[in-house]
Chain A
Amino acid sequence: MTPDTDDTRAVTGEAPRIPKRLALVASKGTLDQAYPPLILASTAVSLGWEAGIYFTFYGLDVLHKDRFDKLKVASLANPAGPMQLPNAIGALPGATAAATRMMKKWMTDARMPSIPEFLDMTRDLGVKFFACATTMGVMGVSEEDLIEGADIAGAAAFLDYAADADVSMFV
């Protein structure tokens, strides 16, 4: 029998360090809802965990090159939004743009990173970005439309990753 020389644990006697894992589903494509998964994932990797986010349905816009910097927050039917307007006024042209500007100003004033900055931060720290293949097919999104570092994956591939997660959440 040959000793397993690849297994350094056998030599050093150290316990293996298995990082915890966070698996998130990001299903929303609004500016406000793009933040929570990125905040959680950037925190997880800062704690020494692994983290992966499955961007599906409208959430895929967060990985879309032409859209990730243009996410909006609705003024209509959003009673907790930045502009608390009656729906009749919130539906007027320009109201969503105004609510979006206001939310971006809140974020800037609080020195919070923008969504593109958060994507860079999390990618640099090794967060996995899964792009939902079905969403791409349904919404006509091609691989070239996605930001660098996005892996196209179906539900089985994500569940394979999430099966080893310690914390899983749907956003």
Chain B
Amino acid sequence: MNPNSTPNTDADTTLDCSGLLCPLPVYKAALVLKRMGSGERLRLVTTDPGALEDIPAMARQRGDLLVSSTADDEKQVFVIEKGSQP
């Protein structure tokens, strides 16, 4: 693990959900997370404004860790670390 105070936002997998509306970003992210191993990281790109609330909620409900979340006018980028659940 990166010992620096800045969180390491490197990801093992990237999923671009640009242009997709609810429920597709959550649906597609969950499909990818299910195939990943515990502790692996997913970088998720979205453009749905609802994703700002949806993706943290998904991580909370699934038991994943939301490592980082950044947003500008055009898109949101989330890094999610998979928890111990399937």
Known A48-B61, A111-B19, A112-B21; judge A43-B85 contact (CB<8 A): no
A12 to chain B, nearest CB (A): 12
A47 to B19, Cβ gap below 8 A? no
Tell me the bound Cα distance from A125 to B67 in angstroms: 26
Contact partner of A46 among B21, B23, B63, B85, CB < 8 A?
B23
Q: Once bound together, how far apart are the Cα atoms of A111 and B61, in whole Å?
A: 26
Query: When the two chains form the complex, which single residue of A17, A110, A121 contacts B85, counting CB atoms closer than 8 Å?
Result: A17
Q: B21 contacts A43, CB within 8 Å?
A: no
Question: Which of the listed residues B22, B23, B63 has the most CB atoms from chain A within 10 Å of its own CB?
Answer: B23
A49 at interface by CB-CB < 8 Å: yes
Task: Please name the residue on chain A nearest to B60 by beta carbon.
Answer: A47
A110 touches B61 (CB 8 A): no
Most chain B CB atoms below 10 A, which of A20, A43, A49, A110: A43
1/0 contact string of A15-42 vs chain B (CB within 8 Å): 0010010000000000000000001001
Verify B62–A48 contact, CB threshold 8 A. yes
Q: How far is the CA of A58 from the CA of B61 in the complex (A)?
A: 32
